[in-house]
Structure 1
Amino acid sequence: MANNNKISRRIIVVSAVSLLIIAAVSYYLFASGKNDKNSYKFVKIEKGSIESLVSSTGVLNPVVTVQVGSQVSGTIARIFTDFNHKVKKGELIALIDTTFLSASVRDAQSSLDKAQAQFTQAGKDLERIKVMVQKNLAAQTDLETAEYNYAVAKAGVKSAQASLDRAKINLRYAKITAPISGTVIARNVDVGQTVAASLQAPTLFLIANDLSQMQIIANVDESDIGQIKVGQNVTFTVQAYPDKTFEGLVQQIRLQPTTIQNVVNYSVVINVSNNEGYLMPGMTATINFQIAHADNVLKVPNAALRMRPTPEMIAQAKSSPGRNAESNRRDSSAQAGSQNLATQNTGPQNKSGQALFQGQRKNSALLWFIDERGKLQALRVRTGLSDGQFTEVSSDKIHEGMDVVSGIVSSTTQTSQQGTPFQQNRSMTGAGRRGGF
């Protein structure tokens, strides 16, 4: 009798556990069927400022840069300046050895003295011949010869004087002076180095006029150049100070095109203030041209405008109760509109790889949201400026803080993360066995 009671209790316990498992599976299947097949990611409509930008790169340069060369050949005897030194206009910065040049001056002086002596003698000869001709002691041809010799001697004096002046000028050229006031940014010679002045003067120094004012020569793609205007505000960063933003103004748009890897670019000159001295010549600048600006407007992340619902989601939106004819007509085009939404808002890619939506105004787009009944709905809004991350939107049916759909989270992912009810029940059953069953 005791054995029968023990068997009966065991049958009852096993039956109860089986019923619990069946109930858990049924509840899970019911809940899964009741929930939507997909859940959504949401973003909020924000209010704030937005800028439309065109991006480019360029190189920083001084406004005025002068290459200091040498007009005479020789050996560098002394150097009086170095890199980063500030110099004034006319200041002596280098000296070429003057041994040969001084000798040239002395030689030219000797030639001048000789020419002057010849000129003096020719003058005396001419006066003597004139007297002899008057006394019929010399022929007329002798007078003409004396006049010719006098003229040649006179010309010889002028030529010798010019040679002396040239030699003195070359001697002065041995003193290299700063043509402008500024900062030495390059020194290309050392003491003892020989410089040869031929058809092109060798560059000894590079002097920048004023590094407190600099320029950026930016290369702007031909697809964006129409949006660039003289006087436009510019912001830029350099790799040396990635967290610091600098400002500038467009000063000139050059008409001469340049072709880089089959892409036509135009040079844009940007004036930059460098009073703090952070910027240096040759730095690469990442530039944003401010095309348009809007304050206190509603904007959404571009992910919400790229949201493309599935056909099931479109059908769900159509089947929601209380919808009028206009809503049904709007949703009938929602699927087609959503398929083209990404292209409409991101735009085709230009040759430099930058999205063409920057600086462009779009007409309209679809925003998706969940209404008070928990149903997915579509709302068409007017779009405005875009900065690549956010887009300006406007409609009398949207407001700041409103949640809109930006993406879909598949229910398969949720299931894999939550596990199955069998796994949970197995753990529960195991715990029961440890209790003595």
Structure 2
Amino acid sequence: MDPSQSLVSQKSSDSDLHIQLHPLVLLTISDHITRHAARQQQGPILGALLGQQNGRVITLEHAFECPTTAGPNGEASLPSPWFEERVKQFKDVHKEPPLDLVGWWSTAPTAAPDPSHLSVHRQLLQDYNESAIFLAFHPSQLQASESHNAKLPLTIYESVIEGENVNDASKDMQIDGEELVLKLRFRELRYSVETGESEMIGVNTIVQGSGTAAVDTYPLVAGANTGNNPQSVKQGTRGDKDGRESNTGLTQEEEELLANLTTRLNAIRTLESRISLLKSYVANISPESGNADSTSVTWSHPLLRDISSLLSHLSLLSPSEQSSFATEVVSQNNDVLLASLLGKMGESVKAMRELGRKSAIVQNQRKADAHAQRRQRYPDFGSGGGVSSGFYP
């Protein structure tokens, strides 16, 4: 690409900014891209970045996806009312430590950002943060990378305004009187991955669970950038000859619930298979099994200690004192039944009070109607003049 046409500056960054990237941001970006590809959605893939800026250090701690609207010239832009309300909600949640909008992210080619990213970036610079950074995620590197120790497929940029000679953009020096054109350019920033204790626990849980989760893969082909081209997604076959997912009529919430239940079912099946494996191992090395010769069996004492440690943590499932455990179970069962009966009794008392109130209203109304009928039949009834003779039957 011609350097004069590239959006990446040829000069290195002189701002001395350092970015601390948290794993939660990477997980959010990965989840957004996967769902975008799985649902065959169109349009750009982008979101906002929340973090802190302490001097020359900027932390990227949270991210959320954003919808886009088409501008007057067809360029993508953020819906301002929705975006402002969303940022306010995240600030209200993350008050300690206080987080703020520090930039945005989107998919981009490996070489450099393209002009489609300028509209959103200019909007953020003008309306929200004049020093917003841009995280460019490169999906094409995921398919090309075969090593687990490869570099993360992303680049973080800061934006600068650079002057460019009108007549000859390749000149490094400006001639007196020559007009300069100011252009928005990106400069690459250095970053490091910062992980907290809670994030490390979450990442380990996801890594351990991902091996047993039955999910379909939707690899992004090389060269995919902003997701505007629906052909950039290669769908996995799930029964259709053309390779596209059949329309089951499920809503988004139902699909997420189905995926969650499928993951839990696979985890339970994996747990069952591993327990069966441990049971078979212990049964084979046991002298009472008769399947192994005691002179030829090699016991793994570390493995046996691990199995014993695992069983010691299952005291609730296999208690040593069966009678005490049974008594505790009966006591808890009685407490639950008593609470249920108290709830039903309260509802019955409430219904009886409501019945009494309505009965009182009906009786008072009947008395009032009877009194009104007497006054109509005997107008002088109850008056100071008494009742004329002949009115009573």
TM range (shorter): under 0.3
Based on CA coordinates, which of the two structures has the bigger radius of gyration?
1
Give me the TM-score of the superposition, normalised by structure 1: 0.19
- Structure with the higher strand share, 1 or 2: 1
User: Greater relative contact order: 1 or 2 (C-alpha under 8 angstroms, separation 6 or more)?
Assistant: 1
